[in-house]
């Protein structure tokens, strides 16, 4: 065992160096124990900031945000630079993916929702996929791709709410594209997926620079160069510069770059390269797609307003869970007691059963969100929580709670019958590695805040390895089509058709108290996202944890809902707990009908910012799960 560091033996220069490394870089999430503010030692320290804070899933991404803040940018500018940087680093997202955000505007005191999710291309219909003998849209390849959303999301956020030029916020990502020392996680993912990568020539060119050698992907620390992507980003900067020289405003110049990506030569190459590899994109698909600036959904939980994106995401499931849990005295149960775990688990299952059946793109379907988010409906759902786990929980009927009748009762009955027919082998079954990989499909999160009052929470994703690269653009395509279903008995709201957005898992969060930001929080992890975020929120609000304690605290995950990935499987009755869960808790849960699995860390890499209005400061937290970390000033 290494001896603890004795500060008295160090020079002040060394002390400052160690502090800087701990608080700012911490590349592998291995902070020193015991630095937390609360009674439980934290593996990472709280980030305290007065002027700004930037947290994301990649340390270099946080560094990009810090660079923008130091140049005078606001939280939106920094968030855009961080999304761009992490999109260039590949293992959890890339430039052809999707970006969705919540932004608090301090001038209007309103929360804004950004919908930069791509949609299904021309020809993407239920009939088409069934003609390909598919039960679900594919998990990988050109037919898994929705239209690129992240470039439009970045440029729209920057133009509407930022202060800087596109050239300024793209500078860090362009430097990365010219070459950066790749980390082991990404390099090893390329090597592990090289057989699939070789199906796509433009992906092979980028990810396998040592083709024909024993190891064809880069090695950790090797300079990873993406010249095609650099050229694409340079074209965006060129379009902005030309517009500025013509006398256009900052906003107009950014939208000139937007048009070049979605309507100009970049779009033509994306379409050509995608069609060459078997995809469905047309130039009209890219030209007609638009970023949507929307009203978020929200509920009030014990005086706190919690905001989520609309039902094209799974975000409202967290809001439904809060409404249900408001009917219980959670604090009296005790943190992560058997009764608490059981109650929260059941509430999540009730909310996610509704998610699986009712959520979809509101531009195409009319989901009963008023009923689903009503307190009265939540009270009725709460009555279904008994002493034992119910592995056959199904969607409810929210229509009477919004003054209507359910037009899908026949389909709902078929759905109920399908769940009721689950065999004992399908209940409490083992969580195999492939199922967990699909269910927990990664992404990242970006959280920023500044002294002016801007707050940004983003969950960008899509285009992770192995990704199809669209021609010579360097742009990796999304895999989000797989989140559609092809059977209306599973969901009549989430069936693919051209121009429609799939119901996705991506779900940033903001909470306000007394009209002021209280918490900005997001997490990676597919269908587990709103489970983890719900527990973080309760950790802070019900159990008085600070933000770092809350992110590192043990979570638990249900797998009773349908996965949004792969074959959309579910594991009713399965629960994942942290491995240090006391035996008496585990035994009680088994008695209540659960099948237990254990992990050695918290069940999700959560990033969050808590607002200390008494002192006018920010508290940043990032779980000890992985590489996620941040910088504050």
Three-state SS string across 40-80, please?
A: CCCCCCCEEECCEEEEECCHHHHHHHHHHHHCCCCHHHHHH
Average pLDDT over residues 357-380: 98
**Which candidate, 401, 419, 402, places its Cα nearest to that of 356?**
419
SS3 504: strand
Does residue 381 come out as left (phi exceeding 0), alpha (psi in the -120 to 50 range) or beta? Answer: alpha
Identify the pLDDT of residue 433.
65
E strand or H helix at 523: strand 516-523
Predicted confidence (pLDDT) at residue 30 exceeds the cutoff of 50: no
Spacing of C-alpha 85 from chain mean position: 16
Q: DSSP state, 623?
A: -
d(CA 57, CA 80): 14
| Residues whose CB falls within 8 Å of the CB of residue 267, separated by 6 or more in sequence, listed in order | 260, 261, 283, 286, 287
Predicted confidence (pLDDT) at residue 530 exceeds the cutoff of 70: yes
Number of H helices, E strands in the chain: 23, 19
- Return phi, psi of residue 290, to 5°: -140, 145
Contacts of 412-420 with C-beta under 8 Å, sequence gap 24+, read 412/357, 414/489, 415/357, 415/489, 415/490, 418/489, 419/392, 419/393, 419/394, 420/392, 420/394
Asked if residue 111 lies in contact with residue 296, where contact means CB atoms within 8 angstroms, the answer is yes
Asked if residue 486 lies in contact with residue 136, where contact means CB atoms within 8 angstroms, the answer is yes
Both structure tokens of 310: 């609309």
d(CA 471, CA 200): 10
For residues 574-606, one letter each, b for 16 or more C-beta atoms within 10 angstroms of the residue's C-beta and e for the rest, the string is bbbbbeebeeebbebbeebbbbbbebebbbbbb
Please give the full DSSP string across 388-404, using - where no structure is assigned: S--TT------GGGGT-
Both structure tokens of 33: 């124990």
Predicted confidence (pLDDT) at residue 37 exceeds the cutoff of 70: no
d(CA 395, CA 413): 10
d(CA 289, CA 267): 12
- Which residue do the tokens 């993916």 mark? 97
Burial group, residue 205, by CB count within 10 angstroms (0-12, 13-18, 19+): middle
Q: Confidence class of residue 490 from pLDDT cuts 50, 70 and 90?
A: very high
**Which candidate, 28, 29, 61, places its Cα nearest to that of 45?**
29
Q: For 66-94, how does the pLDDT look when each residue is reduced to its tens digit (9 = 90+)?
A: 999 999 999 999 999 999 999 999 978 99
Q: Confidence class of residue 537 from pLDDT cuts 50, 70 and 90?
A: very high
% of the chain with per-residue pLDDT over 90: 81
Q: Confidence class of residue 625 from pLDDT cuts 50, 70 and 90?
A: confident
**Which candidate, 324, 327, 368, 367, places its Cα nearest to that of 346?**
324
**Which candidate, 490, 399, 24, 467, places its Cα nearest to that of 207?**
467
| Residues whose CB falls within 8 Å of the CB of residue 11, separated by 6 or more in sequence, listed in order | none
Asked if residue 394 lies in contact with residue 419, where contact means CB atoms within 8 angstroms, the answer is yes
Of the two residues 519 and 604, the one the predictor is more confident about is 519
- Most confident option among 34-48, 105-119, 403-417: 105-119
Predicted confidence (pLDDT) at residue 612 exceeds the cutoff of 70: yes
Please state at what angle helix 59-70 crosses helix 75-87, rounded to 10 degrees. Answer: 150
* Least confidently predicted of 17-26, 403-412, 508-517: 17-26
According to DSSP H, which parts of 401-485 are helical? 409-420, 433-439
Q: For 422-465, how does the pLDDT look when each residue is reduced to its tens digit (9 = 90+)?
A: 766 666 666 666 656 555 556 789 999 999 999 999 999 999 99
d(CA 530, CA 189): 26
**Which candidate, 99, 138, 150, 128, places its Cα nearest to that of 497?**
128
| Residues whose CB falls within 8 Å of the CB of residue 64, separated by 6 or more in sequence, listed in order | 81, 82, 84, 85, 172, 173
Q: What angle do CA 317, 320, 322 make, to 5 degrees?
A: 110
Q: Confidence class of residue 28 from pLDDT cuts 50, 70 and 90?
A: very low
Question: Rounded to 10 degrees, what is the CA torsion of 16, 17, 22, 23?
Answer: 60
- Mean pLDDT score of the chain: 90
% of the chain with per-residue pLDDT over 70: 90
Of the two residues 560 and 194, the one the predictor is more confident about is 194
* Rg, C-alpha atoms of the chain: 23
Predicted confidence (pLDDT) at residue 38 exceeds the cutoff of 90: no
Both structure tokens of 112: 């804004």
**Which candidate, 429, 443, 412, places its Cα nearest to that of 528?**
443
Q: Confidence class of residue 1 from pLDDT cuts 50, 70 and 90?
A: very low
């Amino acid at each position: 065992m290494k001896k603890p560091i004795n500060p008295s033996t160090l020079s002040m220069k060394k002390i400052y160096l160690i502090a800087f490394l701990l608080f700012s870089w911490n590349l592998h999430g291995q902070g020193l124990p015991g630095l937390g503010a609360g009674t439980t030692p934290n593996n990472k320290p709280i980030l305290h900031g007065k002027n700004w804070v930037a947290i994301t899933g990649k340390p270099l991404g946080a560094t990009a945000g810090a660079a923008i803040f130091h140049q005078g940018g606001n939280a939106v500018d920094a968030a855009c630079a961080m999304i761009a940087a992490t999109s260039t680093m590949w293992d959890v997202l890339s430039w052809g993916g999707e970006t969705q955000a919540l932004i608090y505007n301090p001038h209007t005191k309103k929360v804004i929702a950004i919908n930069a999710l791509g949609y299904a291309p021309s020809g993407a219909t239920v009939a088409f996929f069934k003609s390909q003998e598919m039960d679900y849209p594919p998990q990988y390849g050109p037919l898994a791709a929705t239209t690129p959303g992240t470039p439009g999301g970045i440029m729209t956020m920057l133009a509407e709410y930022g202060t800087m030029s596109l050239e300024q916020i793209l500078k860090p990502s362009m430097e990365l594209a010219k070459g950066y020392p790749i980390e082991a996680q990404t390099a090893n993912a390329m090597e592990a997926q090289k057989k699939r990568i070789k199906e796509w020539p433009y992906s092979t060119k980028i990810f396998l620079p040592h083709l024909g050698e024993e190891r064809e992907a880069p090695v950790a620390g090797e300079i990873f160069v993406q010249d095609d992507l650099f050229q694409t980003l340079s074209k965006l900067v060129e379009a902005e510069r030309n517009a500025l020289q013509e006398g256009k405003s900052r906003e107009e110049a950014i939208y000139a770059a937007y048009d070049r990506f979605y309507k100009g030569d970049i779009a033509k190459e994306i379409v050509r390269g995608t069609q060459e590899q078997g995809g469905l994109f047309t130039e009209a698909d890219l030209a007609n797609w638009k970023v949507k600036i929307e009203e978020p959904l929200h509920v009030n939980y014990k005086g706190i307003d919690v905001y989520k994106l609309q039902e094209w995401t799974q975000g409202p499931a967290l809001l439904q869970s809060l409404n249900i849990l408001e009917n219980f005295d959670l604090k009296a149960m005790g943190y992560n007691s058997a009764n608490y775990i059981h109650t929260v688990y059941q509430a999540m299952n009730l909310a996610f059963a509704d998610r699986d059946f009712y959520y979809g793109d509101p531009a195409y379907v009319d989901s009963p969100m008023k009923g689903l988010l009503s307190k009265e409906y939540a009270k009725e759902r709460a009555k279904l929580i008994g002493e034992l786990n119910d592995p056959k929980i199904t969607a409810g009927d929210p229509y009477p709670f919004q003054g209507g009748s359910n037009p899908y009762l026949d389909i709902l009955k078929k759905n109920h019958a399908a769940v009721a027919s689950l065999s004992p082998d399908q209940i409490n079954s083992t969580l195999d590695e492939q199922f967990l990989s699909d269910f927990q499909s990664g992404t990242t999160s970006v959280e920023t805040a500044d002294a002016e009052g801007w707050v940004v929470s983003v969950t960008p994703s899509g285009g992770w390895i192995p990704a199809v690269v669209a021609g010579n653009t360097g742009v990796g395509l999304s895999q989000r089509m797989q989140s559609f279903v092809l059977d209306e008995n599973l969901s009549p709201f989430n069936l693919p058709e051209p121009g429609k957005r799939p119901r996705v898992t991506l779900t940033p969060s903001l909470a306000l108290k007394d009209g002021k930001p209280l918490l900005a929080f997001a997490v990676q992890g597919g269908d587990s996202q709103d489970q983890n975020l719900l527990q973080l929120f309760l950790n802070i609000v019900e159990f008085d944890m600070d933000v770092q304690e809350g992110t590192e605290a043990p979570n638990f995950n249900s797998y009773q809902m349908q996965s949004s990935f792969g074959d959309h499987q579910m594991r009713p009755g399965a629960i994942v707990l942290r491995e240090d869960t006391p035996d008496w808790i585990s035994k009680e849960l088994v008695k209540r009908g659960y099948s237990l699995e254990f992990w050695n860390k918290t069940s999700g890499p959560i990033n969050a910012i808590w607002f200390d209005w008494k002192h006018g400061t920010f508290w940043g937290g990032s779980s000890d799960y992985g590489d996620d970390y941040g910088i504050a000033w």
